Amino acid sequence: MSGKYQAPKGVSEYFPPNSNIFESIIRKLENISLAANYHLIELPVFEDTELFTRGVGESTDVVTKEMYTFEDRGGRSLTLRPEGTAGVIRAIIEHGLDRGQLPVKLYYHGPFFRAERPQAGRYRQFYQFGIEAVGVDDPLLDCEVIAIANSAFHGLGLRDYELQITSLGDDSSRAAHREELLKFLAKINLDEETKSRVAKNPLRIFDDKREEIRAIMQDAPLLADFLSSESAAKFTQLQSALTSLGISYVINPRMVRGLDYYTGTAFEFVHHRLGAQSGIGGGGRYDGLMRSLGGQDLSGIGFGLGLDRIILALQSEGLVDLKNTQSGYLDLFIVPIGESARLRAVTIVDEIRRAGFVADMGYGDRSLKGAMKAADKLAARNVLVLGDSELNSNKAALKRMSDGHEVSVTLDSLVAALKSAL
**Amino acid sitting at position 359:** A
**Residue-wise pLDDT tens digits, 352-374:** 999 999 999 999 988 888 889 88
CATH, residue 108: 3.30.930.10
Going by pLDDT thresholds of 50, 70 and 90, the confidence category of residue 388 is: very high
Bridging pattern class, strands 279-285 and 300-306: antiparallel
Bridging pattern class, strands 382-386 and 263-271: unpaired
Going by pLDDT thresholds of 50, 70 and 90, the confidence category of residue 401 is: very high
Instruction: Give the count of beta carbons closer than 10 Å to the beta carbon of residue 348.
Output: 22
**Residue-wise pLDDT tens digits, 195-219:** 877 777 788 788 777 888 888 888 8
- Same domain, residue pair 399 and 301: no
The whole domain housing 162 covers 19-170+228-316
- Same domain, residue pair 250 and 358: no
Question: What gap in Å lies between CA 120 and CA 286, rounded to an integer?
Answer: 29
CA distances in angstroms from 352 to 150, 227, 377, listed in the order given: 36, 61, 21
Q: pLDDT above 70 covers what percent of the chain?
A: 96
What 3-state DSSP class applies to 266? strand
> Does 106 reside within a domain?
yes
**pLDDT recorded at residue 268:** 96
> Is residue 250 scored above 60 in pLDDT?
yes
| φ, ψ for residue 106, nearest 5 deg | -135, 150
The arithmetic mean of pLDDT across residues 63-73, rounded, is 91
**pLDDT recorded at residue 62:** 82
Q: Which residues contact 137 (CB under 8 A, 6 or more apart)?
A: 264, 285, 287, 299
**Residue-wise pLDDT tens digits, 315-339:** 999 998 766 555 567 999 999 999 9
Instruction: Write the burial class of residue 224 (CB in 10 Å: 0-12 exposed, 13-18 middle, 19+ buried).
Output: buried
**pLDDT recorded at residue 256:** 76
- Does the pTM surpass 0.85? The reply is yes
**pLDDT recorded at residue 260:** 67
Q: Are 365 and 349 in contact (CB under 8 A)?
A: no
> Does 194 reside within a domain?
no
Bridging pattern class, strands 359-361 and 332-336: parallel
- Same domain, residue pair 150 and 258: yes
- Same domain, residue pair 279 and 377: no
Return the closest-CA partner of residue 223 out of 284, 276, 301: 284
Question: What gap in Å lies between CA 31 and CA 175, rounded to an integer?
Answer: 40
- Same domain, residue pair 154 and 303: yes
**Which domain-ending residue is among 249, 281, 316?**
316
Instruction: Write the burial class of residue 52 (CB in 10 Å: 0-12 exposed, 13-18 middle, 19+ buried).
Output: buried
**pLDDT recorded at residue 216:** 85
CA distances in angstroms from 89 to 78, 83, 287, 298, 375, listed in the order given: 17, 12, 12, 10, 47
> Is residue 127 scored above 70 in pLDDT?
yes
> Is residue 1 scored above 60 in pLDDT?
no
> Does 140 reside within a domain?
yes
First-last CA distance in the chain: 39
**pLDDT recorded at residue 87:** 97
Q: Are 269 and 282 in contact (CB under 8 A)?
A: yes
- Same domain, residue pair 106 and 232: yes
For the chain, what is the domain count?
2
The arithmetic mean of pLDDT across residues 115-136, rounded, is 93
Q: Which residues contact 124 (CB under 8 A, 6 or more apart)?
A: 8, 9, 10, 11, 113, 114, 115, 116, 118
> Is residue 255 scored above 80 in pLDDT?
yes
- Same domain, residue pair 311 and 405: no
Tell me which of 326 and 240 has the higher pLDDT. 240
CATH, residue 356: 3.40.50.800
Question: What gap in Å lies between CA 388 and CA 69, rounded to an integer?
Answer: 62
- Same domain, residue pair 366 and 401: yes
**Amino acid sitting at position 255:** M
> Does 200 reside within a domain?
no
> Is residue 102 scored above 80 in pLDDT?
yes
Question: What gap in Å lies between CA 413 and CA 165, rounded to an integer?
Answer: 56
**pLDDT recorded at residue 136:** 97
> Does 272 reside within a domain?
yes
**Which domain-ending residue is among 287, 316, 345?**
316
Q: Are 34 and 338 in contact (CB under 8 A)?
A: no
Check residue 119 and report its DSSP letter: B
What is the layout of strands, in order, in the sheet containing 382-386? 359-361, 332-336, 382-386, 395-400, 406-410
**pLDDT recorded at residue 211:** 85
The arithmetic mean of pLDDT across residues 371-385, rounded, is 90
Q: Are 47 and 162 in contact (CB under 8 A)?
A: no
Candidate from 129-138, 201-210, 375-384, 394-403 with smallest mean pLDDT: 201-210
CA distances in angstroms from 230 to 165, 171, 319, listed in the order given: 17, 11, 43
